[in-house]
Structure 1
Amino acid sequence: MKPIFYRPAQLRGLAFLGLLLSALAILGGMIWRNVHHFETVFSYVNYSHRIQNVSVGLQQSLIEYLTETVSGSRPEALTKTLGEMDALMMDNRYLSAATRTSLETVKSMLIDLPLLKKEEKYNRLLTALKLMSETLDNEALQREELLEDISRDTQTELYMALAIFTAILVVAVLFLRLRILHPLNDLRELLQRLTEENFTPITTDHLDPLLLPVFNSYNEMVKHLAELEDANRLHAQSLQHEVRLATQALLEQQYSLARADRLAAIGEVAAELAHEIRNPLAGIQMAFNNLRREIDDIDQLERLDLINAELKRMARLLNDMLDQSRHSPEVATAFDVRTLIRDLVALTRYQIAESIHLEIEAPCALPVHLPESGVRQALLNLILNAADALEGNPGTIRIRARTDKQGLRIDVQDDGIGFPQDMLEHGIRPFRTSRQRGTGLGLAMVQRFVKDVGGTISLTNQPTHGACVSILLPNDCIVRDKL
């Protein structure tokens, strides 16, 4: 994998380091210049103080000459002042030519001062004081000019530094905005496109080389994501096709089971009919045998034998029909009714209209020991009957499962027109239905299964509208320990 910090990144890092060092150099230069100006001002102030000390020394010398008691002696203040004047003239840093000339003139006027008469001493001292006063005035003007020059230079340097810092800041902000923040904002928008499943790569011709690896990685990522999205889409389509095939197979099996149950119900009805016919047929056979013993005519006996043979054949057919109608019950297994209802609802969702809403009210697990296929087929018949009762109109089918003191209770409710009064009064009977395309066997098969497991089934209409089929299974089928 190529590192992000390759040559363009290094160059920009060096450029940023150069800008930082330049800013530090400018700041250091300003500090050095301010220190230099401070030292200059401090030195010049000392120099001015020394000139002022010379002037003060002259004033003290004048006072001493005015108060002298020994004629012809040199006052101590004058000697000290002449020494300071020699030291000043030896310092060439700030001493101007005019000041030097003034100091030399004053020195020449004071060097032979003790040899002069008193009046001439006063005149020379006064002249020297006047000349030093003018010199001090000139030095004050020069000091003000120096301070103004220093102030002007300092302001100029400050403005230049501010201008340079502002330029560096503007360049840095523009670079950061145009080369960094703007592409990163584009990257944020690109990531937003990813949430919208837009995997289109972007062009990288206009990008800064520093961010080029990031956007190249983005293009590789979206390319890989697009491939994964295509693979997931194909996989999802394949799964949907497999689910559709499996659902179709399950529906076909359910239809086959329903048809088998209908045939079983028909067989049950036929068995009941055969049982009801066999009893009077046995009486007919007994009466016929008694009648045959009373007749002696051979021709009539032959005819009676033919009739007797047909009666026996009818008896054999009825017995064979009853033998075939006897079926072995399904083996009971342990399972969870709530899980079965959820699976059944997911399956019937493909069989009923989308406008019909299915609701499940089973707050906890309901482990039972029952024939699972029988329970599944019974509930499927009830749900499909409820969907048919809605006649394609929007509505709700509610499946409630719970346990109470009597056993396991399962209610299937709908928002249809309800059961007719005849069915509520006479109960469930085979081949009796209120729907035009109904067979009248669905509820009969449910009733037969419920009775086989020792339960009961009841039909009611809801107070507002709709029907409710309630199944009550005995406590023996409930598994007290959870699966």
Structure 2
Amino acid sequence: MVLAKPALKTVLDRPAQLRGLAMLALLGLVLAILVGMIWRNLSRLDTIQAYVSYSHLVQDAGLGLQQVLVDTFSGIHPGPRRLQEQSEKIRKLIREDAHLDQDTPARLGVVDSALREAGGGSLADARSQLSDAVKVMHLILSAETDQRERVLEEISRDTLAELELATGTLTVILVTAWIFLRRRILAPLNDLRHLLSNLAQEDFVPMDTKGLDPLLVPVFDSYNLMVRNLGELEEAKRMYALSLEAEVRSATQALLEQQRSLARAERLAAIGELAAAVAHELRNPLAGIQMSCQNLRNEIRDPDQAERLDLIGAELKRMARLLNNLLEQGRQSPLPACEFNLAELVRELLALTRYQVPAEIMLEQDIPADLECYLPESNLRQILLNLVLNAAQALVGNPGTIRLVAQREEDKVLLEVIDDGPGFSPEILAKGIRLFGTGRVRGTGLGLAIVQRFVRELGGQIRLSNQTPHGACVSITLPLRSSQP
């Protein structure tokens, strides 16, 4: 397994090296064609320059002969020396061998012979020989010019053909490279781009690597490995989310059971408070009855009636003891206060209450993040829980919103629980919060009473009001810091 990766890399690098060498060979071929064209054109330019120089020499020699011929018409004999100079030019042209027409050397020889003959004869003979020599020179110059034009046409045609060949070869190379890049490189990379964009939609589909260019195989193998890993991670995340959701539901169910138990305990506490109030009200008249019975006992001398009064007095004492026990049980010890963040407490409360409230009811909060309180947290949590559940029961069957709003007012905090339900009944707004007083058919009348008792224990105030056009608002004012230990 350790040797497999280097071997695979060698196998994958070999086609890339071959393609690179092929591309370099094609580029080298194009470069060679271009260099060859430049070299041949330079050689042709040198040849043409030589031909042009030769033509200039021919033309110069022809002009010299014409000048000598013109002098003969003026009666001036050229003389052997002058004819010898012209003959030297002609022989130089013969020696250079830069002519284009194959008859040029022979014709130059005829001119040279004519010049030699003109030097030894009379003026008329010299004129005749020079005239023949000028005609031959014109013929030579004309033939050289025709041949030079033909050579130039051939060079131009060859150069154009070579340029077309180089251009065609370069075009074929570029088109081949473009087709190769588009089909073997760009198209798979474009598919990879679409696949990567689909990853955001959790589409973990691997790509088939058959027919891919070996250069791209490692890239797509890495992509497929990444897709498999992402799929496994997504499945693990889904399973973890399911297990976490099950745990949250279980914990929420347990919390709801605890809240129901706490609600029952609060109802019993309210009933105990009512019993304590009744016991307190009964204890005073019961003490008067007991004193009257004791006085009456002291005045009666009949043993039977005295015994009956003693029985009544004993029962009255037992009832007094029961009432005192009720009062003792009705007394509550305050919970300890602690420092907490009100926004965090409300956020946790709404997150847990979400499972008790229908989905069509929205839960919102507007509480400053830096609002710190020093109060009995459990009591405040129970207050807000009762108010939210009361608002949800008022909205049952209808969509709506429950908002918890808080703001600091000097050394106090104002808490408002607002809903857009039907609002409080005029009777509740007029008479206030009363134990067992409710505006709902199945209400117990304990929720607001318990909230009121808690608020008073914390040294706060509670106020009920209705919103416009509809809705209820419970406003609670509490000290930021409780005086309880």
What residue number does 1:27 align with?
Answer: 34
Change (3 A) 1:184 1:476: closer
Partner of 2:344: 339
8 Å contact 2:90–2:111 — kept in the other structure?
A: no
The secondary structure found in structure 2 opposite 1:352 is coil
Gap change, CA 1:168 and 1:87, over 3 Å in 2:
same
1:300 aligns with: 305
SS of equivalent residue, structure 2 residue 392? helix
In structure 1, C-alpha distance between the alignment counterparts of 2:80 and 2:325, rounded to whole Å = 171
Identity of aligned residues (%): 54
Give the secondary-structure state (helix, strand or coil) at the position aligned to 2:153. helix
Work out the CA distance in 2 between the residues paired with 1:197 and 1:400. Answer: 39
**Match status 1:170 vs 2:175:** yes
Q: How does 1:361-372 map to 2 (within 5 A)?
A: 361-372=366-377
Q: 2: distance between equivalents of 1:95 and 1:350?
A: 109
TM-superposed deviation, 1:391: 2.2
For 2:79, what is the secondary structure of its paired residue? coil
Across the aligned residues of Structure 1 and Structure 2, the Cα RMSD in angstroms comes to: 1.9
Quick one: distance in 1 between partners of 2:410 and 2:151? 113
Structure 1 stretch displaced more, 224-233 or 397-406: 397-406
For 1:129-149, what per-residue CA distance to the aligned partner results, in whole angstroms no more than 9, with x for missing partners?
112111211111111111111
Distance 2:78 2:252 in 1: 142
Instruction: Identify the match of residue 469 of structure 1 among 451, 474, 477.
Output: 474
Query: CA–CA distance in 2 between the matches of 1:316 and 1:464?
Result: 54
SS in 2 for 1:134: helix
Q: Work out whether 1:104 is the aligned partner of 2:76.
A: no
Q: 1 CA distance for matches of 2:222 and 2:416?
A: 59
Say if 2:221 is the partner of 1:216.
yes
Secondary structure of 2:208's match? coil
- The 8 Å contact of residues 337 and 482 in structure 2, kept in 1 or not, is answered as no
Q: Does 1:225 align with 2:230?
A: yes
> CA separation in 1, counterparts of 2:100 and 2:479?
127
**Contact 2:101–2:144 (Cα < 8 Å) also in 1:** no
Partner Cα separation in structure 1 for residue 336 and residue 215 of structure 2? 74
Give the partner amino acid of 1:289. Q
Letter of the 1:9 partner, please give it: A
CA contact (8 A) 2:411 2:479 kept: yes
Conserved 8 A contact 2:51-2:98: no
CA 1:182 to 1:458, structure 2 compared with 1: closer, same or farther past 3 Å? same
- Name 1:73's counterpart in structure 2: 79
Is it true that 1:432 corresponds to 2:437 in the alignment? yes
Whether the aligned pair in 1 keeps the contact of 2:279 and 2:326 (CA below 8 Å) is yes
* Separation in structure 2 between the aligned mates of residue 117 and residue 474 of structure 1, nearest angstrom: 151
C-alpha change, 1:64 and 1:339, in structure 2 (3 Å) is same
1:272 aligns with 2:277: yes
CA distance in structure 2 between the partners assigned to 1:246 and 1:477 by the alignment:
31
**Is 1:47 aligned with 2:54?**
yes
Give yes or no for contact 1:381–1:446 (8 Å, CA) kept in 2.
yes
Counterpart CA distance in 2 for 1:193 and 1:95 is: 75
Aligned residue for 1:481?
none
Gaps of 5+ in 1: 479-483
Q: Deviations over 1:370-415 (max 9, x none)?
A: 1100000011000100111112211111111112247211111111
Match of 1:57 in 2: 64
**Structure 2 residue aligned with 1:381:** 386
Residue 256 of structure 1 aligns with an amino acid whose one-letter code is S
User: How far apart are 1:72 and its partner, in Å?
Assistant: 8.4
Q: Which residue of the other structure, out of 95, 111, 116, is the alignment partner of 2:121?
A: 116
- Aligned partner letter, 2:34: L
Match of 1:150 in 2: 155
Task: Give the corresponding residue for 2:136.
Answer: 131
Q: Secondary structure at the match of 1:32?
A: helix
Deviations, residues 287-307 of structure 1 (Å, cap 9, x unaligned): 111111221111122222222
Q: TM-score, normalised by structure 1?
A: 0.94
Q: Which runs of 5+ in 2 are unaligned?
A: none
Determine which of 325, 330, 336 is the counterpart of 2:335.
330
Give the conservation status (yes or no) of the 8 Å contact 2:101–2:147.
no
Q: Paired residues, what number? A: 476
Structure 1, residues 302-348: CA drift from partner, whole Å, max 9, x if none?
22222221111111111111111112110111112222111111111
State the Cα distance separating 1:267 from its structure 2 match: 0.6
What is the Cα deviation at residue 79 of structure 1? 2.1
How many angstroms apart in 1 are the aligned matches of 2:204 and 2:89?
91
CA contact (8 A) 2:375 2:481 kept: no
Query: Residue in 1 aligned with 2:462?
Result: 457
Aligned to 2:354: 349
